[in-house]
Structure formats: structure tokens, C-alpha cells
Structure 1
Amino acid sequence: MTAADRYSYGPYHEGPDPLAPPLDLREALSEIGREVMEGSSPRSALEELLRRGTSGMPGLEELTRRLWERRAEISRSHRLDGTLQQVRELLDRALEAERRALFPDPSDDARFAEMQLDALPSSTAGAVNELGEYPWRSETGRENYQKIRDLLGEELLESRFQGMKQALQSATPHDVERVRRMMSDLNDLLAAHARGADTEEQFAEFMDEHGEFFPENPRDTEELIDTLAARAAAAQRMMNSMSAQQQAELNELVGQAFGDPRIAQQIAELDANLRALRPGQDWESARRFRGQDPLGMGEAVEAMQDLGELDELAAQLAQSYPGARLEDIDLEMLERQLGVDARMDAARLAELERELRRQGLFERAPDGSLRLTPKALRRLGEVALRDIVGKLRSRKGQRETALAGAAGEPTGASRPWQFGDTEPWDVSRTVRNAVLRSASTGSPSVTLDVADVEIAETEQRSRAAVALCVDTSWSMVQDGRWVPMKRTALALQHLISTRFRSDALELITFGRHAATVDIAELTGLEPVWEQGTNLHHALLLADRHLRRHPDAVPVVLVVTDGEPTAHLESDGTAYFNWPPDRRTLAVTVAQVDSLARSGASVSVFMLGEEPRLAAFVDLVARRSGGRVVAPDLDGLGAAVVSDYLRGRRR
């Protein structure tokens, strides 16, 4: 056997595409982070992501749109009177053939027959029933009338048993009797099950004898009932969707199914049994069909089942019930209605949801709500910082100074000891030097000499205490500055936690009052309609943070879009006034002066172009030795990070 004989190649049909690109969790997390920073809860943000999808993956909204298009196509393309129309056409052909046969006959019997035909009811059902005992002279007329009975039987059974129409084409009386006997046994089985009897053995006997009529191959009585009830309910919804005249005609016609009224009686008994066993099925609703393509009873029931599945899928895709998960979507049903592409799209969305949860990006808060984990916040910070670094490509320069000193951190290098050095010894290299020197002199023992001593070089790193004060008043939300402000804080926090770990960062929000928050709280902070810009309180908290780190370079960064309109009174209450009160301005400037005396400069990032705001922040910068930056929203993060790096070099 050659290697070529061992393998065969062809299209891939089962499961997800093995060559599909991996899920892009970075894009998904970025979208979720943006929603959270705009004020959505993490759960809502995740639901919104799944609803919209990503750039390479359709979301639930797109799948739902396809569902409604399919639903509209069914209802706008079809109408439900196909069986009635076919019966009418066969009846007209039968009557025409019979009249042609009677016309040349001069006998009174022929004239009487013609009178019978002329006196037939105008309704299709009434005429068909009147002709039940009519002695046809035309063979064509008799054949067409028998076709009406066969058609009604096939359509009636197809409306309750899928595939029955094809199985009963050209049915003989023996075939009809087999179907009638199957239905009688079926109703006996359902009646016994309804009484609470153990039907396991009866079901097995029934399937052994009549299993050919059930291609679904149900495993037990309950599964058989589920299958039959779904189709019977669809048949009832089809009847509900017809006009009252059409319903009356069809109900009257079914008694002529195969010319055996017992078939219709068994169907009626079957429907009653199924309705009692499955009252939760939709037996009452109706649909509106406005198309031109007539459907037979069997086709109409198929259309009704399709519409029922589309409604069920729409509810699954809406995910609006408690505990909803994308795993709840019936993928086989979705493929049946929208094709394999829709199934794969839904499977990919479910995989995305699973991966976001499995990767530990969400966690349960003590109150039961969903929130972003520190891992997710780190990833958001990494993305935000990467965007900012891209805007800082033109900014170069070292932020650290390398000095040998006892207070520094080891660099991994060493050098020979010199008189006056106080750094710790590099013991391994000192011993190695002693061994090599002793061996080179032929000494039988190892002795330590001053020339052998090496000391570990250290690097003196500057350390900063950073207070980032961000304005959270309503104007920040109203003017679209809310998310850029949060992304800036995320980027700065990520930079400090990964690159400058010895720095101490304090995040301070200020509206009517100021408060210290961690990055998770700031990221999930919801906008609140609140008047007041209490920069005074924020600077008080910044000063407290700086005093806790007296050995660090003090850096105060303020992001705001309005001049101070509130300050903190001695009793802890916030005083607010618009336009700004002179006392508010005075105590705020006094706090700026206090920070300046302790060596801290205040850099203000001014969002907006109000002349009064510009004048105030200019005053703050001059009195504290800081500076004023007026970035656009895209450049806010770069401006803040750049100023932080500049400040910690002092």
C-alpha cells in the first residue's frame, strides 16, 4: 500500500472549521471595557458585545435579523388555501368531464343527472359531499373525484404525520386500512398513557408493528407524544390562520378523506388526546399570510412549524430570560432554518462567551453582580497604554538615573572593591577570585585577599508619589470626556504597576465631593447627574497621599473641564455655588500653595476652552510651578503620561 492510498481528501462537514482563525479576545475585551467605562455593568457590556458581535463575527442582532427575514419570507410568499384550490380544480375538471359525457345522451336519466349537477351547492365542500354517492358516467370524472378523496386523505395525514403524503401516493384500500389501524392503535396507546398506565411494552409493540410511519424513531411514549403534539398544534394554528369560510370548508371536506369517514374521526380523536397530554403547546395563536403561493395542508403545517421554530429561536437569541446563556440556542434548529453558516456564527459566539468567562475576565462581586477581574483591568490598561505609547513615539529620554549606592537595586553587575565602598559583596565572585588566585600560585589552601573582593553594583532609582485627580462632574459625561478620562487612568495605572512599581499612585475623583478609588471602581464608575467641581477636596486628598510618601518625588495631575464651583467646609460638608464663589476660589488656591510649599507642582489638563477656566488653571500652574496642557480628547492620555514621566525626573 502506498502513502497515497492511506489518505483521502475532501470538504470538511462536521463541527467548527479547524482552519478558522482563533478568537480575538483582545478586541472583545476592549469593546467590553469601553461599554463599562461608559457606565454599563460588565454583564450588560458582555450582552451588548454578543448582541453586536465583533468585526469578524456576526452578533445575535444579525442572526435575529436573518430570522425575521426568513419569517417575513414565509408569511409574505404563501397563502393557506392550496388544498381547497386543488380540490376546486379537480372538482371542476370532474364536472366538466361528466357534463361532456351526459350531453349526447338523450335519455331522461341523463337530463336528471344534469339537473343534479346544476343543483350542486356553490361551496366546494358542499359539492364534494353531495357527489359522494353520485353514479359517475365519465371515467375521467370518476378518476378526478377519487383524486379529491385521495388528496384530502394524503394532506390530512401529512398534516399530522411527516412524510405520510409521499408514502400514501397511489395508496390502495389495503394501505388506507393499515393507516386507519395504526391510528386506532396510536389512540389506544395515548389513552392508556393519559390514564397513567405503564405503556413501555405497549409502545414497543406499537413501534414493531407501525414504526414505518414514524421516521423520527421516537424512543418512548413521551418522545412520540412530543413529536406528534408539535405537528398537531401547528395544524391547529394553520386552521386558526384561515378565514372562517375556509375553516368551515376544510372541516367539511376532511370527512371525504380516502372516502372513509373513520380517518377523520381518528384524526379528531388523536388531536383531542394530544391536546390533553400537551396543553402547554401553542394551540391558539394564528398567523397572517399575505402571499400568492398556495400551500397544501401538509406544506402549510410545515410553514407553521417553521414559524414556531423561528419564534422559539428569536426568544433564545434575545437572551432576555434569567440565567440566559448562548449554549441555550438550539443549533440544529438554527441550521434547519438559516443554514450551516448561521449555526457556525452562533457556535462561535457561544465559544467567545465561554472563553471570556474561562479566561477569568469576570468575577462575582459580594452582592452577586458581575464585575471585571484585575486580570481584565490589566489587559484594558495594557491596550490603553499601547495606544498612548503610539502617540509618544517622538518623545525620547531616560526616566532613570543609574548610580552606585547602598540604597539602590542590584543591576546584576559587579566591580572590584575600592577603599570607601559600602556596597554589599558579591560573594560568589569573590570566592571564585580567591580560588583562581590560590590555584595559580600553587597554594594547597584557599585564602582570601583584599584583591579578591568584588562588590555588587546597584542602581539608584527615583521614586514618585503620584496623585491623579479626575473630574467626574456631569459635564464630563455630557461633552464626551468620560471614557477618555477613564482610559487615561487605566493607562497610567498600568504603566506604574508594570514599569515603575516603586511609585505610589492614588486615583482621586471629584464632583460635589472628592473620593479615593481603586482602578476597578473608577473603570466601573457610572455617570451621575451632579453639580459641583470640588477641586479643593481633591487637592486635600492628594496632599494627604503625598505626605504618606515623604521620600518620593511628588507629582499631582488634574484632569478637569470646569473651574472650581465647590469646596469643603470645616465640618466636612460641601459648599456649592454657580458662578464660582470667591471663597471657593480662595481655599482652592490656598491648597495649591500648600502643595507647592511641600515641593509638589500641579499640572492641569484642561478640557474645554472656557476663558474663566483658562485663567484659573493658568493661575494654579504659575503658583505651583506646574504647567497647563490643553489636549484634545485623543491626546489626553499621551499628555498625562508624558507629564507624569517629566514630573518624576525632577
Structure 2
Amino acid sequence: MSAGFRFRDYVPEETTDKGFDSLFKIFMQLVTITSGDVGEALSWLNELDKQYGLTDDGYGMGNFIEDLKNKGYIDENPQEPGSFEITAKSEQKIRKSALEEIFGKLKKSGTGNHRTPHTGQGDEQSTDMREFRFGDSLDQISMTESIRNAQLNHGIGGGDDFMLTEGDLEVRENEHKTQTSTVLMIDISHSMILYGEDRITPAKKVAMALAELVKQKYPKDFLDVIVFGNDAWQIEVKELPYLQVGPYHTNTVAGLELALDLLRKRKTSNKQIFMITDGKPTCLKEAGGYYKNSFGLDRKVINKTLNLAAAARRLKVPITTFMIADDPYLKRFVEEFTEVNQGKAYYSSLKGLGHLIFEDYKKNRRKSL
């Protein structure tokens, strides 16, 4: 007689992390908004605790800070005794939190490359079948289909009568996969925090989520992140939580020049630029310094920007612009820019920005290897 299984109600164990977990979620949001400033994030958390009673006598803010240290999320700042800084563990946790917040749960998908509509020798099987051709590998042969063909073509024999010929063989098509090189451009001009609206924090979250997405689901892809204000420069993914807006104009030309330079070095088939901005180009770097004009659409600045859009088109690099503003004259500029590049443009709210970028990234299956 089998002993079988005995089922009973599952009662989860009490955990001392209950208070930590709820506070930690808020802390992760605050440390992103404060660009990695742990002291400011904890001050805000204290104020929220006073107003909403986030802690109790059993688990206080002091316990939370000690747990942050013990769990490896913050360290003492050697340059400023008595202050803290986030760790590499926190940086990764912030990226993962952004990914979950913006993109939701992701399903595992093979080796994680972008499929193309072309078939041939590749590394993922499709449902399409065809006859065996010289050069096909043995592991592509579908034995079930091939034996069935042999039986149909030569009859069902027994013992030594079974015959399998080359004409009976069928192979399963493999889909080509392709790598994608993406440059994500983030506008850090002063307008990204003007008019009482924080636009830089959602942009940072999108960048962190995209970086984590590429790492988890498309590990063979390349993602470079650059920021542009008066100038443009490349940043590492680990720097994203600390990203801040500066007292800058918008030098879109510098950003595009750097993006194209980075993509020229990549030996991949698919290349693209994603640009997150909330304003028009207003700045150029010249030999004598900077040329700036924030009033209207300056043709000197706009023409150089459009020239780069055309250069990207010649290099077969589509530019997708995510404009988080809806001024009519900005739309006219974006439409002209997009037409010259033959790219795409979205006029997005901050709330929908992440989903648009995610979907556009997934649909990049235009070119074959």
C-alpha cells in the first residue's frame, strides 16, 4: 500500500522582514528621485513616516537603516563620515525594480535575440519544413517526418526491407537571429524639470529598465546610453540612478553625432537610436564656444540637426523620437526630423513612455544577418 501524500493548510512563517520590505520599496523610489542621495531619501522617508505612520514600536526607522547596511544596500561614505551611499547591489536592485514597474514580468525566451523573417542556418527551430539540401547539418533532420516519408514512398517493409533515401529526408527550418545595437539618448537640459514636472526620473527609470531588459532577455544585444545638454557624453548603466538635470540648453546635434560614432563601431546588422526629449534643439558647439538660442526654432540649429537625421538614414540607422511634450511647433519639428530620417516619432505622456520603448525595441526585426 502506498503511503501517499498528506495535504494541510499552508501557514506562512512570520518574518522579521515585513517592515523592511514595505519601507524598502518606498526607499528605492526615493533614492531614484534624489539621484542616489541616501541622506535626502532617508529624510523624505522620515517625513512620510511622520505623516503616514510607516513604522511602529516593533520596527522603527533605525532598524530599517541598520537592515539596509547589514543587507548590503548602503555603505558608509568614506569622503563624508556619518553619511551613506548606495552600493552596487542597490544599483542593480533599482534597475530590476524599474524593469518590473515599467515592463512587468518577462517570460524566458531562448537565448534572447531578435528574430528576423528570414530562414536558413540559425539557432532556433521554426515550424516550417523543407526537403534536405546539401550543406544541411544532421541535427536539422526531422527523423519522424523523414521515416514517415520513407514509409509512404517505399512501402512499409519489415526487417532489412526498410529503405531511407536522400529524397525522403526533411529538415526543420532554423530562424536567423540578429543582434541589435541601440543607443538611448536622454535629454538632461533644464526643461526636464521645469514647470513643476519631474521628467528626468521617468526617463531614468525607462533607461534602467531597458538596460536590465537587454541584460536579461537579449544578452547578445548592445545598449549604449548617452546624455545631452550643452554637450553630449556616454554614461555607464551603473551611473543611471545618479543622473541629474543640469542648467543646460539642448544640443541635439552633439547627442546624434556621438550616437552615430558609437554605432559605427558596432558590427551588428540592426542599429537604432532612441531619443527621449521634451524640447527643441537650442544649442550648438562652435570653435569659439556655444551658439545658443532658446526662442523659437533657430534654422541654424535645426538645419544641422536635420543634416544628421539624413546622415543616419544613409547609414540605415532609424531614429525613434519620444517627445514628452505636445507643443504644436515642437510637433512640426519632430515631423520634419522624422521624415528626413524615415524613422518614427511618439508623442508620449511620461506614464506610457516605458511601454512604447519596450514595444518598439521588440519589433526591431527588419534586417537579416
TM-score w.r.t. the length of structure 1 is 0.43
Indicate the residue corresponding to 1:400 in structure 2: 115
The residue aligned with 1:500 is 218
- Match for residue 71 of structure 2? 359
Matched, 1:45 2:41: yes
Q: CA deviation digits over 1:290-309, x for unaligned, max 9?
A: xxxxxxxxxxxxxxxxxxxx
Which shows bigger deviation, 551-560 or 517-526? 517-526
Distance 1:490 1:566 in 2: 27
Amino acid at match of 1:385: L
Instruction: Tell me which amino acid in the other structure corresponds to 1:355.
Output: D
- 1:589 offset after TM fit, Å? 0.8
Relative to structure 1, the CA distance from residue 582 to residue 378 in structure 2 (aligned partners, 3 Å threshold; closer, same or farther) is same
CA contact (8 A) 1:39 1:525 kept: no
Name 1:19's counterpart in structure 2. Answer: 14
Query: Aligned residues, how many?
Result: 321
Once the 2 structures are TM-superposed, how far is the Cα of residue 544 of structure 1 from its aligned partner? 1.1
Q: Which residue of 1 aligns with 2:320?
A: 603
Decide which of 148, 168, 181 is 1:465's aligned counterpart.
181
Any residues of structure 2 matched to 1:530-545 within 5 Å, and which?
530-545=247-262
5 Å-filtered alignment, 1:474-493, equals: 474-478=190-194, 479-493=197-211
**For residues 25 and 401 of structure 1, what CA distance do their matches in structure 2 show?**
45
Report 1:302-381 matches (<5 A): 342=57, 344-346=58-60, 349-363=61-75, 370-381=84-95
- Between the aligned partners of 1:403 and 1:365, the Cα distance in structure 2 is 53
Structure-1 separation of matches of 2:17 and 2:52: 11
Counterpart amino acid of residue 70 in structure 2:
R
Spell out, residue by residue over 1:313-371, the C-alpha distance to the aligned partner (whole angstroms, 9 max, x if none).
xxxxxxxxxxxxxxxxxxxxxxxxxxxx63x233xx44432332333333567856744
Mapped partners of 2:273, 2:20: distance in 1: 35
Given that residues 186 and 227 in structure 2 are in contact (C-alpha distance below 8 angstroms), is that contact kept between their aligned partners in structure 1? yes
Q: 1:370 to 1:594 in 2, by over 3 A?
A: farther
- 1:593 deviation in Å? 0.6
- Structure 2 residue runs of 5 or longer lacking an equivalent are 1-12, 107-112, 144-158, 160-165
Letter paired with 1:635? G
AA in 2 matched with 1:622: E
Provide, for residues 230-284 of structure 1, a one-character-per-residue CA deviation record: whole Å limited to 9, x for no partner: xxxxxxxxxxxxxxxxxxxxxxxxxxxxxxxxxxxxxxxxxxxxxxxxxxxxxxx
What residue number does 1:585 align with? 302
Which has the bigger relative contact order, CA under 8 A and spacing at least 6?
Answer: 2
Contact kept in structure 2, 1:563 and 1:612, CA below 8 Å = no
Identify the residue that residue 432 of structure 1 maps to in structure 2: none
Superposed counterparts of 1:386-425, under 5 Å:
386-389=100-103, 400-401=115-116, 406=121, 408-409=122-123, 418-421=132-135, 423=137
Contact 2:34 2:40 in 1 (8 A): no
CA offsets 1:184-209 (integer angstroms, 9 cap, x no match): xxxxxxxxxxxxxxxxxxxxxxxxxx
Which residue of the partner structure matches residue 236 of structure 1? none
Q: Deviations over 1:32-74 (max 9, x none)?
A: 3332332351343245435534999634xxxxxxxxxxxxxxx
> Which of 247, 265, 268 is the matching residue for 1:548?
265
**Equivalent-residue separation in structure 1 for 2:79 and 2:173 (angstroms):** 51
CA drift at 1:26 = 5.5
Match for residue 129 of structure 1? none
More divergent stretch after superposition (578-587 vs 535-544): 578-587
What is the alpha-carbon distance in structure 2 between the residues aligned to residue 543 and residue 358 of structure 1?
44
8 Å Cα contact 1:52/1:58 also seen in 2: yes
Higher strand share: 2
* Structure exhibiting the larger radius of gyration computed from Cα positions: 1
Q: Kindly tell me: are residues 631 and 358 of structure 1, through their superposed partners in 2, closer, same or farther at Cα, counting changes over 3 Å?
A: same
| 8 Å contact kept, 1:565–1:576 | yes
Work out whether 1:35 is the aligned partner of 2:61.
no
Alignment check: 8 A CA contact 2:313 2:342 kept = yes
Does the 8 Å CA contact 2:115/2:365 hold for their aligned counterparts? Answer: no
- Matched with 1:297 is none
CA shift in 2, pair 1:506/1:574, >3 Å: farther
Distance between the aligned counterparts of 1:615 and 1:595, measured in 2?
20
SS at match of 2:240: helix
Asked whether the 8 Å contact 1:402–1:461 carries over to 2, the reply is no
**Structure 1 residue 25, shift from structure 2 partner:** 5.4
Q: CA RMSD in A?
A: 4.0
Deviations, residues 120-148 of structure 1 (Å, cap 9, x unaligned) = xxxxxxxxxxxxxxxxxxxxxxxxxxxxx
Classify 1:381/1:649 alpha carbon distance in 2 versus 1 (closer, same or farther; 3 Å): farther
For the residue of structure 2 that corresponds to 1:526, the secondary structure is coil
Cα 1:365–1:589 change in 2 (3 A) is farther
Give the C-alpha shift of residue 390 in structure 1: 5.2
- 1:549 Cα offset (Å): 1.4
What per-residue deviation string (whole Å, max 9, x for no partner) do you get for residues 594-646 of structure 1? Answer: 10111111111111222221111111111111122111111111112222222
Deviation at 1:467, TM superposition (A): 0.9
* Counterparts of 1:612 and 1:605, CA distance in 2: 15
| Aligned 1:560-571 pairs, distance under 5 A | 560-569=277-286, 571=287
Contact 1:488-1:636 at 8 Å conserved across structures: yes
**Distance in 1, Cα, partners of 2:84 & 2:259:** 31
Residue 240 of structure 2, aligned match among 515, 522, 527 = 522
Cα distance between partner residues in 2 of 1:582 and 1:616: 11
- What is the CA-CA distance between 1:550 and the residue it aligns to? 3.4
Which structure has greater helix proportion?
Answer: 1
Which residue does 2:96 correspond to in 1?
382
Q: Tell me if the contact between 2:23 and 2:54 (Cα under 8 Å) persists in the aligned partners.
A: no
Question: Which residue of 2 is the match for residue 131 of structure 1?
Answer: none
Residues 358 and 462 of structure 1, relative CA distance in 2, 3 Å threshold: farther
Report % sequence identity.
25
| 1:509 shift after superposition | 0.8
Contact 2:114–2:177 (CA under 8 A) maintained in structure 1? no
Are the counterparts in 2 of residues 596 and 625 from structure 1 also a CA contact under 8 Å? yes
Give the aligned residue type for 1:361.
Y
TM-score by length of 2: 0.73
Structure 1: state its 5+ residue gaps. 1-17, 60-340, 393-397, 430-440, 442-449
Indicate the residue corresponding to 1:558 in structure 2: 275
Contact 1:425 1:456 in 2 (8 A): no
Counterpart residue identity of residue 578, structure 1: S
Structure 2 CA distance for partners of 1:482 and 1:498, relative to 1, 3 Å: same
| 1:111-126 equivalence runs, <5 A | none
SS in 2 for 1:593: helix
**Match of residue 152 from structure 1:** none
